[in-house]
């Protein structure tokens, strides 16, 4: 269950009363979440609820303002840190809409990220040969042809290829906390299996996952420990895997706290 | 300097009327504006020789032409004959909110107010813009009141007769939220000079649908233009159709004065014989958040020459501008010539800007496709070339005008020879 | 974000040092007497002097061009010294051992070892220091293959027929103001001749260094690739950091005979001036090549230096089936101004040209692409493709495109595309989310933007160019 009061047991991520806004619009309105090492949490919820925003706020995207609250990753408060510092602290976000970077090869990009993170941890950089080997393995693991390592980052990739590319990065970066934002959207059945296998292979007692999805199908492949419903910037319901099935059947209509019509004021 | 220019300046100097204050400013500016040569960037490809040679008379014989009939086109008609406004041309009563004034006979108050508007939209006009400033006397002013939508179009026809000089000036003001359609027609294919300039002040949220049919051919010399100023959320949809002549030049200037305004400019020209057509289209994005879409297409046959200069200037603070310019040209003969220069001048970083220009043969795949359906090669070529222009005719918001111009374009096109 | 990128763009100019070398320098001034003295210093034959004097008279009649999108204080041609050479070069050292070690050290510091054993294998270097060529390496090896690679001042003596035959044929004396000036006062530069059917066994390169104060550099390069031959040539340029502007007005002429191929690459890193636009090189350069039948000339340039760049490496595609290419990266920052591009003149049938230009503007700089594509009436079946992309970094700079397209042949095809973009917030965030420093992210993204051009550079220099860009972008994000 979403633990409002942290237990004494060590947490991977603790979000407490998080309020955040973008362009002066409040999106997160008191979010609480506690994720223990090794756990998989699924977050579901209607469009526009603030799921992606949660990922952006945690990972420090410009333009998102934290009004209130805290987020502690593996014992460290991260909300004051720069985006790249949070990444180096072990936070990984797989984007809902991965951006293209023309001309920058995937391989070059991957090596730059892995180098940066290893350097931050005081580890020596991989040689090109070592890295190439790792990258090839990761590429195979997500079922992308090796040619994708040479292509520009997401440049001209299909929707599904972009998602697999995100997963490949996750596999190479070995983060502590992975936030996957609709990594299953737009995937065919086989690709979904690939994504699930990718995630499952990375599950370990010291790595946690937050999986944002609209479909319970993915959760058949990746068994979540908890399922939460995010609506209007808050978690409104938490449960175990069966909650996802319930939602699939009934939708979100039961969430009655419909947001007030903001235009109403303008009309009066 | 040409003899004609000296005469023109002398004539302007000896004219004294309510426009004199403006005239003296432009006369001063003329002194610093040299006669364009090949070295003058804005006239690089367009020679003024035919103007220097032309026989022009300030007092030609009376022009008895009538505006060409456009079936089904309901409009308020304004007619200029050899540059003089025909007071009898406007016969219908005007609806509330539409004011049309012939300034020389307007009230002193109106004249004074107009002096402040006159020539304000585009600073730094070229030589012929200044010439128009100093020689235009029969100025007409059109105004649509705030929030008023005029459903019937205004048609301005300029009839230009043999050896005449026609220097017309119209000022159009659309007040906030107003909407209007204006169609400009220039008619007369005889040796003559026409500098027809129209200024459009489109205030916030106003909407202008605009056409300019620059269809003078043969010996008619035409050096005019349209200047548009757009206020906040104003909208302009403009179509320019050009045929060439010995010397034909249009300057279209769009100047954004308020945010979130949009302009769409479609222009196409078909040139045959030894015609020249020169379009200079300039867009000044002086404020943020405005959108320009420009589509310019030309077909050039025989020994004709097309000149296009498309300039998009994005000023320092004009962030979030979206500007696209597409220029496509077809050459039909190996004596024909195309000179195109799509320029971008950008001083703001958060903008989306693109231009493209092509000079090309007809698409071979499309040609093959048609041939494979049994259509002869020459017929297929005609179909494809015409399709290239027809697309823009289809985009004209006014169906009546589209159906009026379409057969003319088709006929003109059918007469063009494909020699390659 | 923008602020961060701007910071990343502040960089040190690494080549800004001054070498302590005793020079013999002419007093400032430009007149016929000075030209006679330059000619005498080079011990030139009469015809060369006559050629110079004729050019000087032409120049006097010409006017400085003002059509480019650049602003600079008027050049006082009388305040420039037109000749400067290290004293030690006076008695023409026969071998590297006789060259002043300080000169060798200068080039070493710039990353150009002149001692053959230390050099990158496969690259021959002509090192030009102010007005003279210091040394040309690997000459014997090249001569074995019949390739001539020597200072042009020497070619005038040793190969007068070749020089006479080609000098000024591609860029005529009166082509433009700065070319005419160069004809009158040029001091040194490289001469290359590749005999018929020969593939030049090494990369050739010239490294230009301005050292002396108040001097101009007026080099002249002439490359002739005879039928069926092939050569790849690279030039690099640096200058000390000074408060005064210095003029560099070079002329490069390329002749590609039937089926020959010349690849000409430039990494231009003249001193760009300081943050406020003080100092820096005025770079007014005329580069042009002529392609005979089925010949190919490919220009690749990476322009990161100079306060003002005015440069349009061009191709005259005279022979049928000839090919011209222009690949350019121009980076301007601080108060730098660049107006650069190319001209592709299609004369022959089925001639092809490709233009890829990448302009990056940052700081308060202005970066313009100016190009001309002309299809002459006889250019049956000719084709051009042009892609001009601009990247703006910050809202104080300018990026401009002035393409001229002139077509007089109905079967010729010209395609021109131009786009403008910026380093997007999304791209930056993706990189940072993966742990990459913002600074590194910018340089990666900018490098990616330039990829199509870098891949045209010879291997070693592609790396160098990438690094140069990286240094240029250093500190732009933080
Ligand atoms: N830059 C922005 N400016 C204004 N509103 C924004 C901005 N970014 C996000 N929002 C708004 O914040 C709300 C939450 O968006 P978010 O992307 O987090 O939703 P989501 O739960 O991920 O939805 P989906 O299931 O559709 O992906 C939405 O109403 C969205 O329109
Ligand atoms: Mg989302």
Strand order across the beta sheet in which A25-35 lies: A25-35, A13-22, A64-73, A76-77
The distance from CA A202 to its chain's CA centroid, rounded to whole angstroms, is 14
CA distances from B348 to B285, B287, B351, C280, C389 (A): 10, 10, 7, 26, 15
CA distances from C170 to A228, B353, C61 (A): 74, 37, 21
pLDDT over 60 (residue C5) = no
Q: What is the mean pLDDT of residues B121-125?
A: 85
Question: Is A122 near chain C, with CB under 8 Å?
Answer: no
The reply to whether ligand 1 has any atom less than 6 angstroms from the CB of A259 is no
Tell which one of A20, A21, A22, A230 to mutate to probe ligand 1, the residue whose CB is within 8 A of the most ligand atoms. Answer: A22
More confident residue, B259 or A243: B259
Position B351 confidence tier, pLDDT thresholds 50, 70, 90:
very high
Q: What is the mean pLDDT of residues B176-195?
A: 96
Q: For the segment C251-270, what is each residue's pLDDT rounded down to a tens digit?
A: 999 999 999 999 999 888 88
Q: What's residue C461's pLDDT?
A: 66
pLDDT over 70 (residue B187) = yes
Q: What's residue C473's pLDDT?
A: 55
Q: For the segment C265-284, what is each residue's pLDDT rounded down to a tens digit?
A: 988 888 888 888 888 888 99
Lowest mean pLDDT among A249-258, B198-207, B313-322, C101-110: A249-258
Distance CA(C137)–CA(C264), nearest Å, equals 19
**Which of B56, B68, B2 shows the shortest CA–CA distance to B190?**
B56
Residue A22 Cα, ligand 1 centroid: separation in angstroms?
Answer: 9
Tell if the CB–CB gap between C403 and B343 is shorter than 8 Å. Answer: yes
Contacts of C407 in chain B (CB under 8 A): 329, 331, 337-339, 359
The number of residues in chain B equals: 420
What is residue C381's DSSP assignment?
T
Distance CA(B128)–CA(A234), nearest Å, equals 67
pLDDT over 70 (residue A258) = no
Question: Is A112 near chain C, with CB under 8 Å?
Answer: yes
Q: What's residue A117's pLDDT?
A: 87
Q: What's residue A113's pLDDT?
A: 87
Q: Which chains touch B (3 or more CB pairs under 8 A)?
A: C
Strand partners, C371: C342, C403
Q: What's residue A192's pLDDT?
A: 86
Q: What's residue C436's pLDDT?
A: 92
Distance CA(B415)–CA(B413), nearest Å, equals 5
pLDDT over 70 (residue B419) = no
Q: What is the mean pLDDT of residues C19-26?
A: 81
Quote the percentage of chain C above a pLDDT of 70: 91
Minimum-distance CB partner of A116 among C426, C427, C437? C437
Quote the percentage of chain A above a pLDDT of 90: 44
Position A2 confidence tier, pLDDT thresholds 50, 70, 90:
very low
The reply to whether ligand 1 has any atom less than 6 angstroms from the CB of A62 is no
Residue B221 Cα, ligand 2 centroid: separation in angstroms?
Answer: 61
Per-position b or e across C454-469, b if 16+ CB within 10 A of its CB: bebbbeebbebbbebb
Highest mean pLDDT among A166-175, A229-238, B360-369, C370-379: C370-379
Domains of chain B, by residue range, sit at 3-415
Question: Is A117 near chain C, with CB under 8 Å?
Answer: yes
pLDDT over 90 (residue A65) = yes
Question: Is C80 near chain B, with CB under 8 Å?
Answer: no
Question: And the tokens for C10?
Answer: 């502040």
CA distances from B65 to B75, B89, B330, C30, C188 (A): 18, 12, 34, 67, 72
SS3 state of residue C23: strand
Strand partners, A210: A41, A179
- Contact present, C313 and C264 (Cβ < 8 Å): yes
Q: What is the mean pLDDT of residues B154-159?
A: 96
- Contact present, C235 and C262 (Cβ < 8 Å): no
Contacts of A173 in chain C (CB under 8 A): 434-435
Q: What's residue C467's pLDDT?
A: 66
Contacts of B336 in chain C (CB under 8 A): 408, 410
Position C1 confidence tier, pLDDT thresholds 50, 70, 90:
very low
Residue identifier of the C-alpha nearest atom 30 of ligand 1: A48
Question: Is A62 near chain C, with CB under 8 Å?
Answer: yes
Question: And the tokens for C157?
Answer: 């003596």
pLDDT over 90 (residue B96) = yes
Q: Would you state the CATH architecture of domain A13-250?
A: 3-Layer(aba) Sandwich (3.40)
Contacts of C452 in chain A (CB under 8 A): 103
pLDDT over 90 (residue C123) = no
Q: What is the mean pLDDT of residues A110-122?
A: 87
Instruction: Measure the CA angle with vertex B284, ends B282 and B287; round to 5°.
Output: 165
Minimum-distance CB partner of B349 among C377, C393, C417? C393
Per-position b or e across A105-143, b if 16+ CB within 10 A of its CB: bbbbbbbbbbbbbbeeeeeeebeeeebeeebeebbebbb
Instruction: Measure the CA angle with vertex A126, ends A124 and A127; round to 5°.
Output: 120
Q: What's residue B253's pLDDT?
A: 97
**Which of B182, B172, B216 shows the shortest CA–CA distance to B77?**
B182
Q: What's residue C350's pLDDT?
A: 97
Packing angle, helices B377-394 and B399-415, rounded to 10 = 150
**In terms of DSSP H, where are the helices of B291-363?**
none
From the CA of A56, the nearest ligand is 1
Tell if the CB–CB gap between C405 and B357 is shorter than 8 Å. Answer: yes
In angstroms, how far is the first alpha carbon of chain A from the final one?
Answer: 42
The reply to whether ligand 1 has any atom less than 6 angstroms from the CB of A24 is no
- Residues 345 through 364 of chain B touching chain C, CB cutoff 8 Å: 345-361
Distance CA(A12)–CA(B15), nearest Å, equals 88
Q: Which chains touch C (3 or more CB pairs under 8 A)?
A: A, B
Q: What's residue C363's pLDDT?
A: 86
Q: What's residue C277's pLDDT?
A: 81
Distance CA(B167)–CA(B195), nearest Å, equals 5
Q: What's residue C468's pLDDT?
A: 63
Quote the percentage of chain C above a pLDDT of 90: 48
Q: What's residue A266's pLDDT?
A: 47
Q: What's residue B420's pLDDT?
A: 55
Residue B26 Cα, ligand 1 centroid: separation in angstroms?
Answer: 55
SS3 state of residue B39: coil
Q: What is the mean pLDDT of residues C368-385?
A: 95
The number of residues in chain C equals: 478
Q: What's residue C334's pLDDT?
A: 86
Distance CA(A98)–CA(C426), nearest Å, equals 9
Question: And the tokens for C52?
Answer: 């110079």
Tell if the CB–CB gap between A113 and C448 is shorter than 8 Å. Answer: no
Q: What's residue C231's pLDDT?
A: 95
- Contact present, C377 and C347 (Cβ < 8 Å): no
Q: For the segment B30-74, what is each residue's pLDDT rounded down to a tens digit?
A: 988 999 998 899 999 999 999 988 888 877 777 888 999 999 999
Task: Determine the longest span between alpha carbons in chain A, in angstroms.
Answer: 68
Strand partners, A177: A91, A208
Domains of chain C, by residue range, sit at 2-468
Q: What's residue C116's pLDDT?
A: 63
Position C459 confidence tier, pLDDT thresholds 50, 70, 90:
low
Tell if the CB–CB gap between A113 and C431 is shorter than 8 Å. Answer: yes
């Amino acid at each position: 269950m979403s633990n409002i009061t942290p237990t004494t047991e060590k947490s991977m991520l603790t979000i407490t009363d998080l309020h955040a806004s973008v362009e002066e619009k409040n999106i997160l309105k008191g979010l609480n979440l506690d994720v223990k090492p090794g756990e998989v949490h699924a977050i579901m919820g209607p469009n526009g609820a603030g799921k992606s925003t949660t990922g952006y706020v945690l990972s420090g995207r410009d333009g998102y303002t934290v009004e209130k609250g805290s987020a502690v990753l593996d014992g460290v408060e991260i909300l004051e840190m720069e985006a790249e510092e949070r990444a180096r602290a072990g936070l990984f976000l797989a984007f809902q809409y991965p951006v293209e970077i023309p001309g920058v090869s995937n391989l070059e990009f991957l090596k730059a990220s892995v180098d940066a993170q290893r350097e931050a941890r005081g580890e020596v950089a991989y040689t090109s040969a070592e890295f190439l080997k790792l990258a090839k393995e990761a590429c195979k693991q997500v079922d992308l042809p090796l040619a994708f390592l040479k292509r520009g980052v997401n440049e001209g990739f299909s929707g599904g290829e972009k998602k697999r590319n995100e997963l490949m990065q996750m596999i190479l970066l070995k983060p502590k906390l992975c936030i996957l934002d609709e990594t299953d959207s737009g995937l065919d059945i086989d690709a979904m299996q690939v994504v699930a296998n990718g995630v499952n292979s990375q599950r370990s007692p010291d790595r946690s996952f937050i999986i944002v999805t609209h479909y319970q199908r993915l959760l058949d492949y990746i068994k979540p420990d908890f399922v939460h419903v995010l609506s209007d910037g808050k978690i409104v319901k938490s449960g175990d895997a069966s909650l996802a099935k319930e939602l699939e059947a009934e939708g979100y209509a039961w969430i009655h706290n419909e947001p007030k019509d903001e235009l109403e004021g303008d009309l009066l | 300097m040409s003899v004609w220019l000296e005469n023109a300046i002398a004539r302007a100097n000896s004219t004294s009327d309510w426009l004199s204050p403006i005239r003296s400013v432009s006369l001063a500016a003329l002194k610093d504006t040299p006669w364009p040569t090949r070295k003058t960037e804005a006239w690089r490809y367009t020679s003024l020789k035919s103007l220097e040679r032309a026989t022009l008379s300030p007092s030609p014989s009376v022009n008895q032409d009538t505006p060409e009939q456009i079936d089904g086109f309901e409009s308020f008609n304004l007619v200029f004959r050899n540059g003089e406004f025909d007071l009898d041309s406007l016969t219908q009563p005007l609806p509330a909110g539409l004011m049309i004034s012939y300034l020389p006979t307007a009230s002193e108050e109106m004249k004074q107010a107009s002096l402040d508007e006159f020539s304000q939209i585009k600073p730094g006009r070229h030589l012929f813009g200044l010439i128009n400033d100093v020689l235009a006397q029969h100025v007409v002013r059109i105004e649509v009141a705030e929030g008023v939508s005029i459903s019937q179009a205004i048609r301005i026809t300029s009839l230009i007769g043999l050896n005449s000089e026609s220097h017309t000036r119209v000022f159009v003001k659309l007040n906030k939220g107003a909407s209007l359609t204006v169609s400009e027609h220039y008619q007369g294919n005889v040796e003559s000079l026409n500098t027809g300039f129209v200024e459009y002040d489109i205030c916030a949220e106003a909407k202008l649908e605009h056409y300019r049919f620059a269809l003078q051919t043969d010996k008619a010399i035409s050096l005019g233009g349209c200047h548009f100023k757009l206020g906040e959320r104003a909208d302009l949809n403009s179509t320019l159709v050009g045929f060439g002549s010995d010397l034909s030049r249009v300057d279209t200037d769009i100047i954004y004065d308020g945010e979130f305004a949009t302009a769409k400019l479609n222009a196409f020209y078909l040139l045959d014989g030894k015609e020249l057509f020169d379009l200079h289209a300039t867009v000044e994005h002086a404020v943020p958040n405005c959108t320009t879409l420009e589509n310019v297409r030309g077909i050039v046959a025989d020994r004709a020459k097309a000149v296009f200069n498309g300039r998009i200037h994005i000023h320092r603070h004009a962030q979030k501008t979206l500007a696209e310019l597409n220029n496509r040209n077809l050459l039909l003969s190996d004596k024909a010539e195309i000179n195109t220069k799509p320029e971008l001048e950008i001083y703001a970083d958060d903008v989306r800007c693109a231009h493209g220009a092509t000079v090309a043969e007809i698409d071979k795949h499309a040609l093959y496709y048609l041939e494979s359906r049994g259509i002869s090669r020459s017929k297929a070529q005609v179909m494809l070339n015409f399709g290239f222009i027809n697309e823009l005719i289809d985009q004209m918001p006014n169906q009546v005008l589209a159906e009026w111009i379409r057969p003319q374009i088709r006929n003109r096109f059918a007469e063009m020879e494909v020699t390659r | 974000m923008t602020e961060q990128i701007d910071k990343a763009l502040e960089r040190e100019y690494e080549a800004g040092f001054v070498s302590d070398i005793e020079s013999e320098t002419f007093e400032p001034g430009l007149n016929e007497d000075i030209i006679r003295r330059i000619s005498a210093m080079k011990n030139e034959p009469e015809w060369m002097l006559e050629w110079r004097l004729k050019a000087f008279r032409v120049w006097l009649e010409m006017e400085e061009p003002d059509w480019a999108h650049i602003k600079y204080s008027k050049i006082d041609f009388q305040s420039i010294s037109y000749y400067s050479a290290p004293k030690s070069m006076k008695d023409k050292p026969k071998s590297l051992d006789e060259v002043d070690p300080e000169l060798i050290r200068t080039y070493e510091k710039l990353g150009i070892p002149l001692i053959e054993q230390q050099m990158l294998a496969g690259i021959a270097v002509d090192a030009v220091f102010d007005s003279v060529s210091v040394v040309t390496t690997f000459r014997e090896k090249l001569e074995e293959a019949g390739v001539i690679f020597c200072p042009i001042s020497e070619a005038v003596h040793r190969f007068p027929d070749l020089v006479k035959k080609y000098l000024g044929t591609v860029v005529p004396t009166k082509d433009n103001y700065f070319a005419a000036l160069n004809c009158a006062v040029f001091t040194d530069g490289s001469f290359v001749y590749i005999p018929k059917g020969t593939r030049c066994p090494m990369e050739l390169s010239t490294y230009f260094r301005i050292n002396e104060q108040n001097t101009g550099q007026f080099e002249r390069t002439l490359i002739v690739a005879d039928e069926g031959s092939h050569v790849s040539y690279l030039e690099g340029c640096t200058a000390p950091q000074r408060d005064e502007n210095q003029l560099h007005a070079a002329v490069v002429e390329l002749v590609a005979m039937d089926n020959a191929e010349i690849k000409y690459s430039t990494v231009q890193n003249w001193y760009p001036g300081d943050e406020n636009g003080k100092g820096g090189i005025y770079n007014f350069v005329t580069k042009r090549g002529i392609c005979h039948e089925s010949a190919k000339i490919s220009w690749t340039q990476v322009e990161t230096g100079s306060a003002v760049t005015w440069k349009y490496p061009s191709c005259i595609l005279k022979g049928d089936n000839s090919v011209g290419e222009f690949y350019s990266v121009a980076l301007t920052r601080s108060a730098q101004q660049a107006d650069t591009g190319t001209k592709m003149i299609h004369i022959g049938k089925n001639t092809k040209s490709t233009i890829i230009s990448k302009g990056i503007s940052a700081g308060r700089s202005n970066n313009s692409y100016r190009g001309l594509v002309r299809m002459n009436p006889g250019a049956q079946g000719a084709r051009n493709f042009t892609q001009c992309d601009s990247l703006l970094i910050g809202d104080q700079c300018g990026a401009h495109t002035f393409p001229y397209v002139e077509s007089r042949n109905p079967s010729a095809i010209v395609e021109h595309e131009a786009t403008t973009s910026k380093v997007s917030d999304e791209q930056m965030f993706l990189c940072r989310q993966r742990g990459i420093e913002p600074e590194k992210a910018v340089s990666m993204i900018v490098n990616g933007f330039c990829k199509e051009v870098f891949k045209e550079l010879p291997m070693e220099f592609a790396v160098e160019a990438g690094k140069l860009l990286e240094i240029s972008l250093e500190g732009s994000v933080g």
